Amino acid sequence: MIAYLEHFVHENDSDAMLQQEDEETASRLCQAMDLQGTIDYRSTGYAGKDFGGLHASTPFAVIRPSGTHDIASVIRFASQSPNLTVAARGNGHSINGQAMANRGLVLDMKESSDAGIDLIRYTDGYAVDVGGGALWEDVLRWCVSEFGYSPRSWTDYLGLTVGGTLSNAGVSGQTFRYGPQTSNVTELEVVTGNGDTVICSDTQNSELFFSVLGGLGQFGIITRARVLVQPAPDMVRWIRVVYSEFDEFTQDAESLITQSEGESFDYVEGFVFVNSDDPVNGWPSVLLHPDHAFDPTPMTRFDNPVLYCLEVALHYNKGNCSTTVDTRVEKLLGRLRFMEDTQFQVDLTYVDFLLRVKEAEKQAKANGIWDTPHPWLNLFVSKTSIMDFDRFVFKKILKDGIGGPMLVYPILRSKWDERASIVLPEGEIFYIVALLRFTNPYQKSPSVRDLVSQNQEIIQTCVRSGFDFKLYLPHYNTEDDWKQHFGDRWLWFVEMKSRYDPMAILAPGQKIFTRHDESC
């Protein structure tokens, strides 16, 4: 069967041949792989695309595994073939083809929401066991409605899978307090590139555990994660305030993230916007609700090309009296130096707050800009470089905006576990910079090629200026670039690869290692 498949993979480029294949082939492949799930080698188009829309590939087949057993079988099957690769696809929200496998096997990991989640009593609290393909939005709804508990660390948008974000880091406005999502899991079940199913944690198979966290899918496929949870608050007060000066914005944001719990907000983020009335890039992007009255007078007093918005949130319960919440908020905001008359706020449920980007997704889908290309760029920039980054990048290269959010907010390195695979800039405080570009086919805007070039220009500016930075959700094409990215972690990364995926079967779309070709 493997010989047959290889013949198919190598020789069959034509639609005519594809059409000759039928249900029988799928069933023979299922048998050869000992699959209980399904295999589809016809409707594979979606697995050859991703949210970025910049890269395309043609997978040989998409497999919907029915469980860990199927995933192990697929990997073992691929390892017996001369050159098949396997990519786990979470929700395909990568930008640069990271979840693709050209002519390889794509495992569609996304699980249905009714898969169920178990609450586990842990030494110091509680955790939940969730599937690697579960969407975070389902994890949230399930945990809150069933147990009144919630994971502690999030991403801004929750239509992402547990395995997909844990393979990167998973950051948002709670990261300053709890660390990234990778710092909030205590145990994983992983199917390695050897086809072994292994339970790992910081005390059991710890090298595998830490290599998989932030490991860009290189060492194994996460089939289950044990995620720390805490009691979920009922409500959130979500607040935005505006700054004209970057140094005041960063000083205030840094003071908030270094205060102890109870002395600060529960969520701290920020973004840069254009000092104009442009509905997408300018002042209106600060509003939290369409009904908010908006008076741009305070912002028109400044001739800076860009302004800064600090975004914070405070958790509370329905039982808390509103004056207590008002007093806490006033006290915390009272220490900050934002511009007068630029405070916007709404109260909403905790679940609605965490699902806030879902609304933006609906609008973007309605406007047709969810499915167009997204040449996004994400960086971690050290505190020592962030002022110059503002001067050279925000105020110059990006002074007209990017058609979407330009996030910038500080996080603390000590909340990250340095044993994980993620590489960070030096120093305790560094910034996440997320340039979330949307391209509108109905408006005159720069071509996607120009936007990709602008991203390169930004990276080159960082390199030339000697900034201390790392790409988040990295994308490189050469081994030298990957070596440079990982720095002194590279040899360890290579060693882990040779231990857990020696034939380089997994996650070929990251373009870090090349599948050992046994047919040569």
Cα dist. 374→97, 362, 444 in Å?
A: 12, 16, 16
The helix/strand/coil state of 312 is: strand
Tell me which residue of 369, 220, 242 sits closest to 301, measured CA to CA.
242
CB 109 within 8 A of CB 68: no
Comparing CB distances to ligand FAD, the nearer of 171 and 312 is 171
The helix/strand/coil state of 63 is: strand
Catalytic, out of 6, 40, 129, 156: 156
Smallest distance, ligand FAD to C-beta of residue 156, A: 3
Number of chain residues interacting with ligand FAD (CB under 6 A): 35
Comparing CB distances to ligand FAD, the nearer of 99 and 369 is 99
Comparing CB distances to ligand FAD, the nearer of 271 and 283 is 271
Q: Does 156 qualify as catalytic in the annotation?
A: yes
Comparing CB distances to ligand FAD, the nearer of 181 and 244 is 181
237 lines the binding site for ligand FAD (CB under 6 A):
no
Token pair listed for 132: 């690697």
272 lines the binding site for ligand FAD (CB under 6 A):
no
For residue 412, is it left (φ>0), alpha (ψ between -120 and 50) or beta?
A: beta
164 lines the binding site for ligand FAD (CB under 6 A):
yes
Q: Does 93 qualify as catalytic in the annotation?
A: yes
CB 271 within 8 A of CB 309: yes
Q: Does 69 qualify as catalytic in the annotation?
A: no
408 lines the binding site for ligand FAD (CB under 6 A):
no
Smallest distance, ligand FAD to C-beta of residue 372, A: 13
Q: Which residue has the tokens 């050159």?
A: 83
Token pair listed for 417: 């576990």
Smallest distance, ligand FAD to C-beta of residue 157, A: 3
Catalytic, out of 137, 189, 254, 269: 269
Task: For the chain, give the number of residues.
Answer: 520
454 lines the binding site for ligand FAD (CB under 6 A):
no
CA distance 87 to 283: 42
DSSP β-ladder status, 267-274 and 377-382: unpaired
508 lines the binding site for ligand FAD (CB under 6 A):
no
158 lines the binding site for ligand FAD (CB under 6 A):
no
Q: Which residue has the tokens 């069967």?
A: 1
171 lines the binding site for ligand FAD (CB under 6 A):
yes
196 lines the binding site for ligand FAD (CB under 6 A):
no
Comparing CB distances to ligand FAD, the nearer of 155 and 264 is 155
The percent of the chain in helix, strand and coil, each rounded to the nearest 5, is 35, 20, 40
- Residues within window 121-150 making contact with ligand FAD, judged by CB under 6 A: 132
510 lines the binding site for ligand FAD (CB under 6 A):
yes
CB 414 within 8 A of CB 482: no
Comparing CB distances to ligand FAD, the nearer of 282 and 509 is 509
Give the side-chain half-sphere CA count within 13 A for 266: 17
172 lines the binding site for ligand FAD (CB under 6 A):
yes
CA distance 182 to 191: 18
94 lines the binding site for ligand FAD (CB under 6 A):
yes
Site residues, ligand FAD (CB under 6 A) = 51, 87-94, 98-99, 109, 132, 155-157, 160-161, 163-165, 167-172, 216-217, 221-222, 473, 507, 509-510
